[in-house]
């Protein structure tokens, strides 16, 4: 039942596009990008079909190709725009702060707010890398690395305990924030409270240097698995061993 095609006389596009005629063009494109981003973010890339996107837009599948070139380029464009918008918002949120921890908290709050925004284009597309065709992934990963550089700089300035590896710290924090809409469901805690919780978990003082568990009773260690701590003066910018 392809549903009577919305009867071309829909009043949605009644404004006169006289001046430069790019108002309607860009507006429709924006609609498409937002709808597609919504579906990509929730169902994933592979599970989202062109026909689903078109149906949500009130048009047929083939008509979409008047606006887009392919499904892949659609996703890439959404991905890039989302990351640019997110970077812009985070930069703005970062501006009024100078202390490293305050900057981290502001970044957490803003990124979490971005990832939990129900509509809008800035949506969690960073977790979809798995289901995207391998050829497209390189471009996406490059863009994402640029975005993550923001957090890299923030974490760089953090007075963390020397035992904590900054690469692991940043990657884990970003993973938590970026997958927020997978585990957060509004109800008991607000978005600001969740952001504060995440920040509280990741905030550490540099005085934590003990080796074993804090509550004393250090006679509780596994016999095997002799873990070797103390990395050799961590190069602090390798990123070869761990990726996101």
The entry of DNA, its own copies, none that residue 2 binds, CB within 5 to 8 Å by partner kind: DNA
231 makes contact with DNA (CB under 7 A): no
In whole angstroms, give the CA distance from residue 237 to residue 244: 14
**d(Cα 108, Cα 125) in Å, to the nearest integer?**
17
Our CA angle for 113, 117, 123, nearest 5°, is 100
Q: Which stretch binds DNA (CB under 7 A): 64-72, 87-95, 158-166, 235-243?
A: 64-72
Residue 59 interacting with DNA (CB under 7 A)? yes
How many angstroms separate the CA atoms of 244 and 96, rounded? 29
Q: Does 183 bind DNA (CB under 7 A)?
A: no
Radius of gyration of the chain (CA): 23
Per CB under 7 A, the segment of 34-42, 44-52, 192-200, 230-238 that binds DNA is: 44-52
Q: How far apart are the first and last CA of the chain?
A: 42
Site string for DNA, 112-151 (x = CB under 7 A): ----------------------------------------
DSSP state of 128: G
- When the beta carbons of 49 and 190 are compared against DNA, the nearer one is 49
Min dist. Cβ of residue 75 to DNA (A): 10
Q: Count Cβ atoms below 10 Å from residue 71 Cβ, excluding itself.
A: 19
On the 0-12 / 13-18 / 19+ scale of CB atoms within 10 A, 20 is exposed
Contact (CB, 8 A) for 150 and 128 = no
Neighbours of 233 (CB within 10 A): 6
Which of the ranges 68-76, 99-107, 190-198, 208-216 carries the binding residues for DNA, by CB under 7 A? 68-76
List 1, 9, 183, 214, residue binding DNA (CB under 7 A): 9
- Does position 67 interact with DNA (CB under 7 A)? The reply is yes
Nearer to DNA, 18 or 207 (CB): 18
Binding partner of residue 241 among DNA, its own copies, none, CB under 5 to 8 Å per kind? its own copies
- Judged by beta carbon, residue 60 or residue 184, the one nearer its own copies is 184
Asked if residue 28 binds DNA (CB under 7 A), the reply is: yes
Q: How many residues bind DNA (CB under 7 A)?
A: 33
CB 13 within 8 A of CB 24: yes
């Amino acid at each position: 039942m392809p549903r009577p095609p919305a009867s071309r006389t829909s009043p949605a596009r009644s404004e006169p596009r006289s001046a430069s005629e790019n108002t309607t063009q860009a507006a429709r494109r924006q609609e498409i990008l937002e709808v597609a981003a919504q579906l990509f973010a929730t169902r994933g890339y592979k599970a989202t079909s062109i026909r689903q996107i078109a149906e949500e837009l009130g048009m047929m599948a083939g008509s979409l190709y008047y606006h887009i070139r392919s499904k892949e380029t659609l996703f890439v464009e959404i991905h890039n725009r989302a990351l640019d918008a997110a970077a812009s918002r985070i930069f703005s949120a970062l501006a009024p702060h100078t202390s490293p921890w305050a900057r981290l908290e502001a970044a957490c709050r803003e990124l979490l707010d971005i990832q939990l925004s129900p509509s809008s284009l800035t949506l969690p597309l960073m977790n979809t890398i798995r289901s995207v065709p391998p050829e497209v992934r390189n471009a996406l990963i490059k863009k994402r690395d640029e975005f993550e550089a923001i957090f890299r700089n923030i974490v760089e300035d953090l007075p963390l305990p020397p035992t904590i590896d900054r690469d692991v710290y940043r990657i884990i924090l970003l993973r938590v924030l970026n997958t927020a809409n997978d585990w957060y469901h509004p109800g008991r805690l607000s978005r600001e409270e969740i952001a504060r919780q995440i920040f509280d978990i990741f905030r550490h003082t540099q005085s934590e240097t003990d080796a074993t568990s804090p509550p004393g009773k250090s006679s509780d260690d596994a016999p095997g698995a002799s873990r070797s701590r103390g990395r050799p003066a961590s190069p602090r910018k390798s990123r070869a061993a761990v990726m996101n």
